[in-house]
Structure 1
Amino acid sequence: MKFGYSEACLAHDTGKRHPETPDRLRAIRQALTRKHGVEYINPAPATESEVTAVHDAGYVAEFREFCAGGGGNWDPDTVAVEETWDAALQSAGLSCWSAEQALAGDDGRNTPFALGRPPGHHAVGDDAMGFCFFNNAAVAAQSVIDKGEAERVAIFDWDVHHGNGTQDIFYDDENVFYASIHEEGLYPGTGEIQEVGEGDGEGTTLNVPLPAGSGDPEYRTTFDELVAPAVTAFDPDLLLVSAGFDAHRHDPISRMRVSTEGYGMLTAHVREVTDEVDSALGFVLEGGYGLDTLSDGVAVVHEVFDGMEPVVPEEEADEDVLESVSEVRSSHPLLDSV
């Protein structure tokens, strides 16, 4: 794979006890040194106009001034220093690079993966939250649409937390489809089945909250039965994966049971869907707070594109998850006729 990476993202210093640390990127780089076929690209940061295409200009100015004044705690979880402004622009720029390279034809072993931080999917249009300042995937999706490089973009979020910011930004937008599989009841408490979009965007949001303890069989079934047919029905030019690895069974801040092999399985299934609909495919890093599980997760995504065939679990999903899948399939505007 081609990995977008910049040392500027290491300068976003959240402090010794914060889970979203520069060591996350260092651990990923270290794990990837043991893999072949890895290429690193250092693209330009996002422009302020690209950021304000999805974020309120007043909020962006306030965040810039906050960092210029030395930063601090934006909220109890979301921390900035002076360098965070440049890191956030760079992280958004890495995501734009992933989208643009995918649309330019990079696929297979050249599939792009943006390794940026701070992460993005909790950042709403006019505020930072949940470790996130700019919504990287949203900036990338809107940027390629505004440039005429894509008409329709899908974002699939497999982070354990619901990407409330991505959903909010595109909730009434018919050109961006957002799908999330996440742990039910976890921060930020959004992402209910009934949240499907509104206005022109009705049907362009798909939420599948799974109970704590869900693992590879539940993710396989949910993706195959809901996300894949919905993406197929939407027929995007580009699919971006908001790739968080905190649903891993050994991640310190979630209760899910996805294995490293399970992330490989999800990657293979995503690739199959994009091949079927002839969509470009790019990845954007979100969460993941166990350094070993995060780095192993990114590495297994790379390995799938390098020829590894992940094992598909034979177990059936739990009955309550099957019932939820049936409920979503029968009620969602994109799925009720599929």
Structure 2
Amino acid sequence: MQFGYSEVCLAHDPGPRHPESPDRLRAIRERLKKKHGVEYVEADPCPIDDIAAIHDRDYIESVKEFCEDGGGNWDPDTTAVEETWDAICASAGQACWAVDAALAGDSGRKTPFAIGRPPGHHAVPDDAMGFCFANNVAIAAQHALDHDEYDVDRVAIFDWDVHHGNGTQDIFEDRDDVFFVSIHEQGLYPGTGDVEETGSGDGAGTTMNIPMPAGTSDAGYLAAFDGPITAALESFDPDLLLISAGFDAHRHDPISRIRLSTEAYALLTDRVRTRSDELDAPLAFILEGGYGLDVLADSVSIVHETFDGREPLGPDDDEEIDEAVEDALEAVLEEHELDADSGL
């Protein structure tokens, strides 16, 4: 894979013991040292006008000023230093680069993966929250839609971070040109993402939320993808598929209770790649969360290995889907009036 990366993103340092630390990128880079076919690209930083295409300009200007004044605690979870503004622009720039690379035809072993930070999917149009200042995946989606030469009319975003992508949902929930699907742990921060949240106005039906019970394992996530997610993607027929790739649903991540294995990310990657090919929708990945350094590095590495030719292992045919998970998926299918036999 090609990885969008900038040393500038290391300078954003929320402080000791903060889970969203620069060590996240260091751990990923260290693990990828041992892998074949890894390429790094440093993209241009995202111009403030492109960030303001998604976020309220007064808000963005206030973040820039906040950082220039030395930063501090924006809220109890979201902290900046002077260098954070440059990291915000670099992270959003890497996300836009990933879109450019995908739409230029980079696929297979050259599939783009932007590993910028701070992450973005909690950032709402006019505020920062949940470690996020600018919504990288939303900026990247708008970047694709705004450039006529790309001929992109519809973008799908699949968010597999364990937390609901509330910011991405808020940004696009009343639009019909972006389909957003989030699979996340039910009741976890920020407490949004109920099944009934399906979009509004022109965007009615273009938001899909799949809140999963604590303890859900690989089989439940794979059933969600093979069932409602696949059915919805086929119906929406996107011109571009973006993955908000958080890895905090791993069973060894310290801040969640979903029980995915590292291999689950290989299996999800393989499915995403297959669906992208079938839909003729270029594919790009954009890093979100993941706070256990070893499992974050392992999980990003296995995504790369999947594109580098490694065949995913499993799933275990003997693993049964918990009844609570089956009920959750049936609720999604019913809410979106999808075929109850879709992949289940």
CA contact (8 A) 2:228 2:338 kept: no
Q: Which amino acid aligns with 1:42?
A: E
* Counterpart Cα distance in 2 of 1:142 and 1:72: 29
Select the residue among 145, 150, 153 that pairs with 1:151.
Answer: 153
User: For 1:15, what is the secondary structure of its paired residue?
Assistant: coil
User: For 1:156, what is the secondary structure of its paired residue?
Assistant: strand
* Counterpart Cα distance in 2 of 1:328 and 1:84: 38
* Counterpart Cα distance in 2 of 1:326 and 1:182: 16
**1:211-290 maps to which residues of 2 (within 5 A)?**
211-290=213-292
Q: Which amino acid aligns with 1:320?
A: A
Number of residue pairs matched by the alignment: 338
- Shift of the 250–178 alpha-carbon distance from structure 1 to 2, 3 Å rule, reads same
Alignment match, 2:309: 307
Kindly state the Cα deviation for residue 330 of structure 1 after the two structures are TM-superposed: 2.1
Kindly state the Cα deviation for residue 313 of structure 1 after the two structures are TM-superposed: 2.8
* Counterpart Cα distance in 1 of 2:23 and 2:91: 16
Alignment match, 2:331: 327
Alignment match, 2:20: 20
**1:49-88 maps to which residues of 2 (within 5 A)?**
49-88=49-88
**1:53-202 maps to which residues of 2 (within 5 A)?**
53-148=53-148, 149=150, 150-202=152-204
The one-character-per-residue Cα deviations of 1:213-271 (angstroms, maximum 9, x if unpaired) are 11100000011101111111111111000000000000011111000001100000111
Q: Which amino acid aligns with 1:209?
A: P
* Counterpart Cα distance in 2 of 1:210 and 1:140: 27
Tell me the TM-score normalised to structure 2 length: 0.96
Q: Which amino acid aligns with 1:323?
A: D
Alignment match, 2:44: 44
Listed as ranges, the gaps of 5+ residues in structure 1 are none
Q: Which amino acid aligns with 1:319?
A: E
* Counterpart Cα distance in 1 of 2:331 and 2:285: 29
Alignment match, 1:30: 30
Listed as ranges, the gaps of 5+ residues in structure 2 are none
Q: Which amino acid aligns with 2:92?
A: A
Alignment match, 1:317: 321
Q: Which amino acid aligns with 1:63?
A: V
* Counterpart Cα distance in 1 of 2:304 and 2:146: 29
The one-character-per-residue Cα deviations of 1:295-336 (angstroms, maximum 9, x if unpaired) are 000000000001111122321211121122122112215668
* Counterpart Cα distance in 1 of 2:299 and 2:80: 27
CA contact (8 A) 2:2 2:41 kept: yes
* Residue identity (%): 62
* Counterpart Cα distance in 1 of 2:210 and 2:144: 27
CA contact (8 A) 1:4 1:41 kept: yes
* Counterpart Cα distance in 2 of 1:256 and 1:329: 21
The one-character-per-residue Cα deviations of 1:23-55 (angstroms, maximum 9, x if unpaired) are 000000000001000000001011111100110
CA contact (8 A) 2:175 2:202 kept: yes
Q: Superposition RMSD on alpha carbons, in Å?
A: 1.2
User: For 1:96, what is the secondary structure of its paired residue?
Assistant: helix
